[in-house]
Amino acid sequence: MPSIDPAAYSSESIFQLELERIFSERLFIGTTADFPEVNSYKSLRLAKNAFTVRRTDVGFKSFNNVCLHRSALIDPLGSGQRPFRCGYHGWAYDNDGSLRVAPLTDEKCISRRVLSEYGIGQAGDLLFVGLNGSKPQLDKVEAALNQIGVPQAPPPPFHTDTLMQECNWKLLVENNIEGYHLSFVHPQSFIPAGFNTSSRYEWDSDEYTCWSACIPNENTSKLKYLQKLSAAATHDFRHAYVFPNLFLTTTNQFVGFRSYMIPLSAQRTILKWELFELPALLKLAPAVREEMKKEAIRFTATSLAEDKPLVESCQVGLSSIEPNLQLQPAEPRISRFHQYYSGRMQNV
């Protein structure tokens, strides 16, 4: 089956093109729950882009985060709540990115007065930035979430975490959207939970989203146990991917998982992840809820730790003098992902 060029996994020049052609169009950056009050912010870096997303009294806004004075970051990296004011010399900005106050300055020495503004889009509680200045296209996101049973406004996460991965972002995507590896890589997570390489796998896709359901076979099904806990329970692992950097899953209709990647270079990627309760879990007895949340944290951390050495070994192999890439029929969503990728990259 056709695949993208192995060089695209290690080339810094291709990575720069990906930033321009892919990540500048639609970048997931967090949820509305990350911005509880006016002046809440999230300050991020994506390669050479330093930008901030802020909740203002006129809605969510995103700006270039480099002060017009001496280029300090206006909002420090990370998140919090503060006025939109540079900490270096107090230059402060309005909700439209225009310079409002510049203490003890001479107007004649200020030629540029407005920060670049980026597009912001919202689908349910999910926030995306268009670093190319346009509002990101999000019309297919809601349908993908519906396919896997994620509510429009789930409760705030009960656990958040970050994992540094020494690999290209595309390897994380590919690992996330196939179930072929489950029996070989996940002895402490997916296999005891009933999911393996032979599980039934259904999938579908749209213009820039794809989703799947992994359903255990009869001999590994735990449905009767799960439905003792709640009649709403299923025994499945549902997964949605929103190109290029957002993953969402639901497990047994109890626990939701949301994660997103921020690529740092061609061979280094940060994966941020969080877990939240789905409606069926919220209805369980408190003691059962608490234990299920603990088990979900253990399951997720374990499965990510199990994946990490494999995706990083693929990075080594793809960066070697003789890389190989031969997709199999059991990996149809990867082929779909490569179509999205090639379409945006114009077959670079």
Partner 1 sequence: MTIENFVEKFAFAIEVETVSLTADTEFKALPNWDSLNALSVIAMADADYGVALSGEDVHSSTTINDVWKIVSARKQ
Site string for partner 1, 223-252 (x = CB under 8 A): -xxx-xx-----------------------
Q: Assess 287 for contact with partner 1 (CB under 8 A).
A: yes
Q: Assess 284 for contact with partner 1 (CB under 8 A).
A: yes
Token digits of residue 212: 């799947």
What DSSP line would sit under 29-57, residue for residue?
EEEGGG--STTEEEEEEETTEEEEEEEET
Q: Assess 192 for contact with partner 1 (CB under 8 A).
A: yes
Q: Assess 294 for contact with partner 1 (CB under 8 A).
A: yes
Q: Which is nearer to partner 1, 96 or 290 (CB)?
A: 290
**What stretch of H or E contains 144?**
helix 141-148
Q: Assess 191 for contact with partner 1 (CB under 8 A).
A: no
Sheet holding 255-265, edge to edge: 159-165, 268-277, 255-265, 246-251, 237-242, 209-215, 200-205
Question: What's the CA gap between 169 and 244, in Å, rounded?
Answer: 9
Please enumerate in sequence order all residues whose Cβ is within 8 A of that of 127, keeping only pairs 6 or more positions apart, or say none.
28, 29, 30, 31, 32, 34, 35, 53, 60, 120, 121
Name 257's bridge partners.
Answer: 249, 275
Site string for partner 1, 250-279 (x = CB under 8 A): ------------------------------
Amino acid at 19: L
Q: Which stretch binds partner 1 (CB under 8 A): 33-41, 54-62, 153-161, 222-230?
A: 222-230
Q: Assess 295 for contact with partner 1 (CB under 8 A).
A: yes
Q: Assess 280 for contact with partner 1 (CB under 8 A).
A: no
Q: How far is the CB of 125 from partner 1 (least distance, A)?
A: 28
Q: Which of residues 38-57 bind partner 1 (CB under 8 A)?
A: none
Which of 291, 305, 320, 330 touches partner 1 by CB under 8 A?
291
Question: What's the CA gap between 330 and 339, in Å, rounded?
Answer: 16
Question: What's the CA gap between 266 and 8, in Å, rounded?
Answer: 8
Q: Which of 85, 90, 99 is nearest to 41 (CA)?
A: 85
Which of 58, 104, 285, 321 touches partner 1 by CB under 8 A?
285
Q: Assess 222 for contact with partner 1 (CB under 8 A).
A: yes
Q: How far is the CB of 281 from partner 1 (least distance, A)?
A: 11
Q: Which is nearer to partner 1, 135 or 222 (CB)?
A: 222
Are the C-beta atoms of residues 275 and 159 closer than 8 Å to each other?
yes
**By the criterion CB under 8 A, which residues form the site for partner 1?**
192, 222, 224-226, 228-229, 284-288, 290-292, 294-295
